[in-house]
Amino acid sequence: MDVYHSGSRAVQDRVGVRDLADHMGRAIGEGVRPVVAAFLELQPLLVLGAADPVDGRVWASALTGAPGFVRATGPRRISVATGVSRACPSDGADAPPPADPLAAALATPGTPVGTTVLDPCTRRRVRVNGRLRPTPRGFAVETDRVFANCPKYVQRRETYETVDRTPGSPRRSTELTSGQREFLAAADTFFLATLHPDGVGAELGHRGGAPGFVHVASPRTLTWRDHPGNSMFLTLGNLATDPRAGLLFLDWTTGRTLQLTGEARTRFAPDGERTVHFTVTEAVDTPAALPLRWSAPEYSPANPDPTR
């Protein structure tokens, strides 16, 4: 069975990496191996992407909790404990507030969801994609794809601490403010949610680079270069068939989140360079949304010079 759909194959062929993609695709499995299960249980951060079941907009959100709030509970199932107050963080994660754009999706059985579990301390990351099932304590993901990604472009943040924060009220807008544009221009990491329209599923990818790798062209437009990666082109393959996308930017110090939804399209230059252009439909800016404070980053040696 081919692990790639037609969109990914089209991009692979255009770039000329189908053979390499076939080799890399052997790492994609349906089940949660013991080494992955052990990794999941150590992490305090889960990022996920899905489409709102009402309006179809794609968003990316983050959940945090004491290590163990994400765990494998079957050979093809991970469970995420939510709905626990900050007063008892050892019992699980905080449920996403009702105002979170993915709150309805996380309560809808069968929602295609893509997740990334990233450990900034070691720069390891694992992606788990599948179908969502609400549970009495949160939700589970019945897995379709489970695989590790290389640490390329991941900034190392050696330590974190859990701090007592009260999330601020989300601010919604259809354009980026000057403060938000400055925040994005200084970012070294963001997460990118995409969806395939034929039920293949959702993807939640990671993008990293030196500050300045995200270019804010206007109050409604962002661009970034697509750096060479694992040649699977799962995200760009989705965008080739469905431009809906959701972006999540974190302030790793203050816990602020900036969620964007809109459409993304890839432009291919004659020299092979790829640039993604994202048009903002809506932005949700939440101060102190996450209770984690990370140490200063050690930038990845793979980061290209953003000025070139």
Q: What is the pLDDT of residue 75?
A: 95
Q: What is the pLDDT of residues 27-49, one digit of tens each?
A: 899 999 999 999 999 999 999 99
Angstrom distance (rounded) from CA 255 to CA 244 = 26
Phi, psi of 38 (to 5 degrees): -65, -40
The conformational region for residue 199 under phi > 0 = left, psi -120 to 50 = alpha, else beta, is left
Q: What is the pLDDT of residue 83?
A: 59
pTM for the full predicted model: 0.94
Ranges under pLDDT 70 in the chain = 1, 83-97, 199-200
SS3 304: coil
* End-to-end CA, the chain: 40
Q: What is the pLDDT of residues 140-156, one digit of tens each?
A: 999 999 999 889 999 99
Q: What is the pLDDT of residue 93?
A: 58
| Domains defined for the chain, CATH in brackets | 6-294 (2.30.110.10)
Q: What is the pLDDT of residue 262?
A: 98
The conformational region for residue 233 under phi > 0 = left, psi -120 to 50 = alpha, else beta, is left
Q: How many C-beta neighbours within 10 Å does residue 159 have?
A: 10
Q: Name the token pair of 164.
A: 């007592």
CA neighbours within 13 Å on the CB side: how many for 75?
2
